[in-house]
Amino acid sequence: MTRRQWLALLFTRGKPRPTPVDPNSLILDLPDDDGGARLLALEQAINFRDLGGYRTTDGRRVKWGRVFRSGTLSALSDSDLTTLRQLGVKQIFDLRSPKESVPAPDRVPEGADYVSLPVHSNTGGARQMFSLFRYYNRLEKVLFETYTRIYLERNAPVFGEILRRLAEEQGTPAVIHCTAGKDRTGIASALLLASLGVPESTIIADYSLTNRYHAPLAATIKQQMRVVERIGLNPDDMDPLLLANPETMKAALGYLQQRYGSIEAYLLQRAGVDETTLTRLRESLLE
């Protein structure tokens, strides 16, 4: 038995297995009914959604067709590329690590710029393994730590760079994506919507929509999670990590409020975004 397997046995012995959750039960109603218009079907990509249509606290609305969020774009069909060209996509932000993107590069429509902005997560690191062992039956704590300590704090400059590029004169239409379009893309989308003045409840509801794609996402990601078998854990028990639980995003946004006073303060202080960028974003993306 390896040291990691011994630790897994030590920390999980006697703990109940994580309770299965129906992904559909986690999907929140959107305050702005879009009639399903934001869910765009591509042949070889999943979780491709329009971030437009949301009302802001001052009564304006996020423009449709300007920023999209998605899972990986590495297997796009020719028809999908045509769709992206018709959408006028000018930039594609790939938040995957080189370990993910090099063996499965994006297919990029003609005329669009491919921008690699890896959000480093230290997946498989000793601290993350310890968290998996310690919170084996409370994996939402692992996600909270990942969202706050790793994504929002360690990768803050990456999210700031996305906002700066979106604020450029020819910055949109654009696509933001990672592998599943849930965690790294979810944080980037939440920060963008918050910078535009979209209410927290709407941001959280948008995050929860990823659960519509849980089955295909889980099938893909669980293949990558086979590593947990080597440390004595059951891949099926990792399912809570694949859910877009609204409470996870609520906790992450609450963390920013508590630590920085507001999400805008986080963007200005930690992510390196200036007031000019925020003004340009609002002028460009709101109507």
Model confidence at 4: pLDDT above 60: no
**pLDDT for position 8:** 47
- AA identity, residue 186: G
Residues, the chain: 287
Phi, psi for 47 (deg, rounded to 5): 65, 35
User: Residue 217: CB partners within 8 Å, gap ≥ 6?
Assistant: 46, 47, 71, 180, 181, 182, 210, 242
**Cβ proximity of 281 and 196 under 8 Å:** yes
pLDDT band at 227 (very low <50, low <70, confident <90, very high): low
53-92 per-position pLDDT tens digit:
999 999 999 999 999 999 999 999 999 999 999 999 999 9
- Indicate the pTM of the whole model: 0.90
Model confidence at 218: pLDDT above 50: yes
**Cβ proximity of 267 and 162 under 8 Å:** no
Query: What average pLDDT does the chain have?
Result: 88
172-206 per-position pLDDT tens digit:
999 999 999 999 999 999 999 999 999 999 999 99
Whole-number Cα distances in Å, 171 to 117, 237, 280: 15, 41, 11
Q: Which domains does the chain have, with CATH numbers?
A: 3-285 (3.90.190.10)
Sheet containing 49-50: give its strands across. 49-50, 67-70, 174-177, 91-94, 113-116
24-59 per-position pLDDT tens digit:
999 999 887 676 689 999 999 999 999 999 999 999
**Helix 200-208 to helix 246-260 angle, to the nearest 10 degrees?**
140
- Nearest one of 189, 190, 177, 55 to 117, comparing CA atoms: 177
